[in-house]
Amino acid sequence: MEGPVRQPPLEPGQPPGPRERFGPEGRRTTERPADRTPASFLGQAQRAFAQGRQRQGIGYLLAAATEGEQKVLDTFRWSPALKRPMLTTRWAMAIQTKLSSAEGGGPSGRDRPSARHAHAPDHRRFEEGPAPGPARHRGAGPGKKSSEQDDPVVFWRERLVDPLAEQLEIRVASGHFGGWLKENKGEGVQERRVGRHNVAMLEEADMEQLHEAALKEKVDVLLVANIRARAGRSRRTPSTILTLRIMAVGGPQELCAFKSLTSNRVEAAQKTDKGASDPADELIKEVMQYIDNHLPLVEMPNLTAKVAGGRAATLAAEKADSPLPILAELRYYQWRELLKDEDLAQCYAKLLGPRDGPNLAGGTPQQRREILLRLLSDWNAVSPEDAKPGPAREEFEPQT
């Protein structure tokens, strides 16, 4: 029986070159040496998505598009609500409260903007990583739904916030908000990822700070659940009001505000016959119907060079915390031959400076990669102080 074979050492002065590979215990193997060339941005994006690191995956995807990767540029789609080309739509949710201490809510998010609400879902935090176990609710106990007296925040989480998050997770995994986010990695992966990485839950804060946090998380659309005490109600029969709003990040701009719902109505419906309609379920259906009608990415409409040129001039004048989405969109117009090469270089120069701009637009592959690596470093590490709201992006309608 052949024993372990040791790899012979290099002779003095022998140049490194192809050598025999040895596996475990020194046995010969036919495995080829690992490719030492850097992984492409597209490959790193696919790896990040497979690992549930959505924000990083989107960053690599934008870098690949800016670099000129045709496989990525060909996947730009149109957002009817945001009215611009996009590769993906990233979602976040947040809970805001304005409750008195008698109602168990403590001070409002405006009074303590830096604190994360104690009842925010544990499985949708800022940090993206391995999915922990299911969140534990501090409410009525196992098998029972919380009542308003237990905790207003848990009450609304169980009936509206968590069900909405689950519906969003399913749509993200189904490809509604970009084919790159579609869950198609094999059996069992969807069960692991749904409810874990696709929708970020932001810390409780006022709207200005929520917008800053959404910018930091590279979010495109924010769903906010505002919970406030109902004025004039007795402490013996506490009641709260929930209002849902969908915001476009980058303006910010309110896309839709839904009719408010009181906790008394929800609890009253639960005490009636099972055949009665549940107002919480009705509101969930209304919200998801709006999302399904306005926010999925659709096929690109016909764009003209005049429209794309005007859009490019607007984008080049923006001061964004991270220019990657703008750079990718501009490259898309150039790839579609709606923007001339020299115009792309001028736009990039306004955004990145007279040296990096032209190099990114038409430099060597190494020059483009070095610039994009620096931009990716900023994409993955932006402090809240640096993520200041920028000017509202000018919307434009495509000419069909």
281 inside domain: yes
70 inside domain: yes
Last residue of a domain, one of 294, 313, 328: 294
pLDDT at 100: 62
What number is the average pLDDT over the span 376-388?
Answer: 58
pLDDT digits (tens, 9 = 90+) for 11-35: 444 444 444 444 444 555 444 444 4
Phi-psi region of 195 (alpha: psi -120 to 50; beta: other; left: phi over 0): left
In this structure, the answer to whether residues 103 and 78 fall within a common structural domain is: no
249 vs 221: CA distance, rounded Å: 6
pLDDT at 9: 52
What number is the average pLDDT over the span 247-263?
Answer: 91
The distance in angstroms from the start CA to the end CA of the chain is 75
In this structure, the answer to whether residues 118 and 193 fall within a common structural domain is: yes
In this structure, the answer to whether residues 144 and 261 fall within a common structural domain is: yes
In this structure, the answer to whether residues 165 and 283 fall within a common structural domain is: yes
The most confident of 90-99, 127-136, 192-201, 290-299, by mean pLDDT: 290-299
363 vs 201: CA distance, rounded Å: 39
Give the chain's domain count: 2
- Angstrom distances, CA of residue 376 to CA of 9, 187, 306, 362: 40, 31, 31, 19
326 inside domain: yes
18 inside domain: no
Of 146 and 130, the structure prediction assigns the larger pLDDT to 146
Q: What is the mean pLDDT of the chain?
A: 77
pLDDT at 273: 67
In this structure, the answer to whether residues 124 and 178 fall within a common structural domain is: yes
What number is the average pLDDT over the span 162-183?
Answer: 92
Of 25 and 122, the structure prediction assigns the larger pLDDT to 25
387 vs 52: CA distance, rounded Å: 24
DSSP secondary structure letter of residue 12: T
382 vs 140: CA distance, rounded Å: 39
pLDDT at 360: 97
212 inside domain: yes
Range of the domain at 235: 91-294
In this structure, the answer to whether residues 164 and 260 fall within a common structural domain is: yes
Nearest in space to 177 (alpha carbons), one of 319, 78, 316, 29: 78
Q: With bands split at pLDDT 50, 70 and 90, how would you rate the model's confidence at 386?
A: very low
246 inside domain: yes
pLDDT at 198: 82
pLDDT at 259: 94
Of 193 and 44, the structure prediction assigns the larger pLDDT to 44
Last residue of a domain, one of 255, 277, 294: 294
pLDDT digits (tens, 9 = 90+) for 132-165: 333 333 344 444 555 555 688 899 999 999 999 9
173 inside domain: yes
Cβ(297)–Cβ(89) under 8 Å? yes
6 inside domain: no
Nearest in space to 369 (alpha carbons), one of 36, 40, 23: 40
In this structure, the answer to whether residues 153 and 45 fall within a common structural domain is: no
What number is the average pLDDT over the span 375-385?
Answer: 67
pLDDT at 163: 95
Q: Provide the b/e sequence for 203-218 (b: ≥16 CB within 10 Å).
A: bbbebebbbbbbbbbb
199 vs 190: CA distance, rounded Å: 14
pLDDT at 51: 85
In this structure, the answer to whether residues 325 and 232 fall within a common structural domain is: no
The structure tokens listed for 400 are: 């069909």
Last residue of a domain, one of 276, 294, 312: 294
pLDDT digits (tens, 9 = 90+) for 347-363: 999 999 999 999 999 99
The DSSP bridge pattern shows strands 91-98 and 199-201 to be parallel
Has residue 105 got a pLDDT over 50? no
pLDDT digits (tens, 9 = 90+) for 302-359: 999 999 999 999 999 988 878 999 999 999 999 999 999 999 999 999 999 999 999 9
pLDDT digits (tens, 9 = 90+) for 201-235: 998 888 889 999 999 899 999 999 999 987 655 55
In this structure, the answer to whether residues 257 and 315 fall within a common structural domain is: no
- At 282, the amino acid letter reads E
In this structure, the answer to whether residues 67 and 97 fall within a common structural domain is: no
The structure tokens listed for 165 are: 């998050």
Nearest in space to 337 (alpha carbons), one of 88, 64, 80, 73: 73
In this structure, the answer to whether residues 150 and 278 fall within a common structural domain is: yes
- Residue 381 has φ and ψ, to the nearest 5°, of -145, 85
In this structure, the answer to whether residues 126 and 267 fall within a common structural domain is: yes
